[in-house]
Structure 1
């Protein structure tokens, strides 16, 4: 009889373990809720005996929700969308197939491509790109994002335009800097003073919710001796998030940097430099491209002003709609709300081509001390169709402060 009782206890324990779960909800927030990455600390779940992601299931109103555990196994990530209820449950059991394609990394021929399933979205160029034949080779470059595609396949970024061969899609070299009192320009390659190049990958990752990479980039002082050429070591972290909708995706762009130089480096105040810059497609000009900032400024008034977010919208390639990018600045960034450089509407010989940059040193210099860590953090929402000011503000709020988790 005691053996029967023992078997019963073991079965009960197994049953309890199988049904072990963690229930929580997303705290209500003001405003229009948009899709937002959310994370939980793994050590708070209390689901003992976990051997990986395969024995956990995230449920919302009877539906399985894709999630991803980061590489250091400290956090579990998922995207909370307006279609989901606020209440979730993590159950310890074998996951079933959910048909999610995920965000994948494909690295070949000097390109790291990030795709949603088989649909390419964003490429990081780690191989060297050379200028067109007949153009000075000083304009060669690696370590930039291009092309950036909308979900429907429109290319939004541009490299090596004839008016600015040093423009490379999405990138952020510093412009007017001083090292030991000497001017070094890492932006205007024609000056032959400096450049920024890819060095190595620290990490690459794919998954059901996001995919991305972390790359070491070197800011090189071409005028210095060999042992002092590296002015900044930068780790660029880029994540592409699947927002579970066909017309939008999200990109997190975080640059962390430090200077190995004995006396550091000074970023002088200037209208270009650092942060996050983007040269837009040649399709867009003064007549088919608009700007809207969090402070209500437009293409005519935004340049030199500060903003939490800025939305650039232009005509789609088929001429039948619009698409664009919403740029978000993180509250902990220097000079937030952040100053911007936006080209004048009558620039480029009257064409009014589109260039945008969050420029943290536009109005005030920044002294970078030796061997001290610095960080700038941005988010981009890439969209087909239209995105309202109310939606933009909601995206910024969830970026500024991740939606809070409340244990049930």
Structure 2
């Protein structure tokens, strides 16, 4: 009896094994299925730029690029709303490149672009190379200078891909200049003027409030922080005149080690019952940058999307502005391409560019996208407003054709979706 039972168990196990093997083969076939993707448009220039994966990826799926018999896995990262990827499509190469989603062998999402926090700053790095830092602790000016010029809530240093510092803070000619930042200048609150830019006036400032979120991954890393425009003369309950949520994100480019991308998104509103008026003025808000002290009139240059240069750009409007200058070693150049998003107020956006003979004839470089340069802006209570910018930080040179391609890909990114859609 016992022997007969053992034989039945062995027999059942044998057939169960065959069944599981067949099931495994079927699953393997299922896992190896592919979904071919099509692009919404052909990239206009051979640059790497963020693209949207319309399908999204489910668990166990991977994005691949296939060219002939060569397959290359492409990292994908979600920002909570969209799935993003980078792919180096070369429009000069006429051979066919295909994209598809494949189940099985999912991409290992290692953190290539990383976020770290120190005692005074937030840091973003790409493959351990420092890119930028954001100061969240108060930084006071040198001894002998009024402490009223102390400040938090700004980006410095912004570094070139090879490590040159591109920003400058607390220059003796303008102690209130802080790297990459964007306070509003001439404002009216209940009929009274408040200046959040010129710290020496003692009327207002912008300070860090809190970290809202952080993220990192194979494509990008960043943080979202809350900043406040503080009205020093207001009552305690009304001192916070503008609340700003600033989201800063850096993108890693796989095949262009001499470049990287920074997204700078400012969302802001006023909690004040009667709102706040941003007066028309040549400085204020948007995105401003005081460049390093190396760059003067004779070793730096500027070009806008409308063909304006250092002599003619101030007060004009542009979709993008390309600024470059001599590197620290004097052997090459580096710089920043500033892109204004098409959804921004006053786009194409007015600019403030210092005259070529500024600062006692030195021609120091200062640039700002200034949405209220030609028109005031009234902020209603608790109504959120958004300004979006992208920076291409580069080493070497960047052409006007590439600048236009970067802007086009920023405002209308390439999307990929299944051919059947």
Tell whether the structures are fold-level matches, with TM greater than 0.5: yes
Alignment of 1:185-264 (within 5 A): 185-244=195-254, 245-264=256-275
1:378/1:24 CA distance change after superposition, 3 Å: same
Number of the residue aligned with 2:298:
287
> Does the aligned pair in 2 maintain the 1:34–1:395 contact within 8 Å?
yes
What is the CA distance between 1:86 and its match in structure 2?
4.8
Structure 2 residue runs without a partner (length 5+): 1-11
Number of the residue aligned with 1:298:
309
**What is the aligned residue count?**
397
Deviations 1:131-160 (A, max 9, x none): 111111111111100001111111100000
1:194/1:46 CA distance change after superposition, 3 Å: closer
The yes-or-no answer on 1:56 pairing with 2:61 is yes
Number of the residue aligned with 1:81:
88
What is the CA distance between 1:376 and its match in structure 2?
0.2
Alignment of 1:146-185 (within 5 A): 146-185=156-195
What is the CA distance between 1:259 and its match in structure 2?
0.8
Match of 1:383 among 382, 385, 394: 394
Alignment of 1:8-407 (within 5 A): 10-29=23-42, 31-41=44-54, 44-45=55-56, 47=58, 50=59, 55-61=60-66, 62-70=71-79, 72=80, 74-82=81-89, 86-95=97-106, 102-244=112-254, 245-407=256-418
> Does the aligned pair in 2 maintain the 1:304–1:341 contact within 8 Å?
yes
Residue 402 of structure 1 aligns to a residue whose secondary structure is: coil
Residue 356 of structure 2 aligns to a residue whose secondary structure is: coil
**How far apart are the structure 1 equivalents of 2:314 and 2:72?**
46
What is the CA distance between 1:68 and its match in structure 2?
1.4
**How far apart are the structure 2 equivalents of 1:210 and 1:259?**
30
> Does the aligned pair in 1 maintain the 2:333–2:395 contact within 8 Å?
yes
> Does the aligned pair in 1 maintain the 2:46–2:90 contact within 8 Å?
no
**How far apart are the structure 2 equivalents of 1:225 and 1:86?**
62
1:46/1:138 CA distance change after superposition, 3 Å: closer
What is the CA distance between 1:216 and its match in structure 2?
0.4
**How far apart are the structure 2 equivalents of 1:86 and 1:251?**
28
Which has the greater radius of gyration? 2
Deviations 1:377-404 (A, max 9, x none): 0000000000000000000000011113
**How far apart are the structure 2 equivalents of 1:348 and 1:396?**
31
CA RMSD of aligned residues (A): 2.0
Residue 27 of structure 2 aligns to a residue whose secondary structure is: helix
**How far apart are the structure 1 equivalents of 2:108 and 2:371?**
45
**How far apart are the structure 1 equivalents of 2:398 and 2:167?**
19
**How far apart are the structure 1 equivalents of 2:292 and 2:214?**
28
What is the CA distance between 1:162 and its match in structure 2?
0.3
Residue 80 of structure 1 aligns to a residue whose secondary structure is: coil
